[in-house]
Amino acid sequence: MNSVSQVDVDAVARQLGRAPRGILAVAHRCPCGHPSVVKTAPRLPDGTPFPTLYYLTCARLASRIGTLEAEGRMQEMQDRLADDPELAARYRAAHAAYLAERDAIEPLSTHPDVTAGGMPDRVKCLHVHVAHSLAVGPGVNPFGDEALAEIGEWWRGGECC
């Protein structure tokens, strides 16, 4: 993972349509070279807790994920957690990995067990899960991996920023 440059901060600002907050590093880049996921500080510059360690910035990918969410994919995934103990265990492991990495930067004593995206019991935001999968690679977050597989090559068709 590389540290964040002003060029990256500017690209993320264009992607988000606002100034980014608390960026520590670019955690993943789209094949076109622009940031697609940033690693954020557990606390924003004003001290506000921000448990979302990995934040998706690529607008094209965010749109594709939004389509999956609108199609009800989160509820399907949530339902499978109750029926598949192995999947539930993998999801709890993703939660533990997320917490460990975030806490290595700064533990959030006011929110010690809060990660993001509903982990470990709910599936609340596929954007978070996809960001986690892209940042750490496949095999850690099962729902991020599934969503990425379903979306496919989101970057096709030119630069995404």
Residue pLDDT, tens place only, 78-117 = 999 999 999 999 999 999 999 999 999 998 877 667 778 8
In a domain, 158, yes or no: no
Q: What share of the chain is helix, strand, coil (3-state, %, to 5)?
A: 45, 10, 40
- pLDDT average, residue stretch 5-12: 94
In a domain, 82, yes or no: yes
Query: What b/e sequence results for 114-124 when a residue is b if at least 16 CB atoms lie within 10 Å of its CB, and e otherwise?
Result: ebbbbbbeebe
In a domain, 159, yes or no: no
Tally the domains of the chain. 1
In tens, the pLDDT along 112-144 reads: 677 788 899 999 999 999 999 999 999 999 999
Is residue 54 within 8 A of residue 40, CB to CB? The reply is yes
Rounded percentage of the chain residues whose pLDDT exceeds 90: 73
Contacts 24+ apart (CB under 8 A), 41-44: 41/105, 41/106, 42/102, 42/103, 42/105, 42/106, 42/107, 42/108, 43/106, 43/108
What are the distances in angstroms from CA 51 to CA 8, 37, 94? 22, 15, 14
In a domain, 22, yes or no: yes
In a domain, 116, yes or no: yes
Could you tell me the residue range of the domain that residue 8 belongs to? 2-151
In a domain, 14, yes or no: yes
In a domain, 20, yes or no: yes
Confidence of residue 155 (pLDDT cuts 50, 70, 90): confident
In a domain, 65, yes or no: yes
Global pTM reads: 0.92
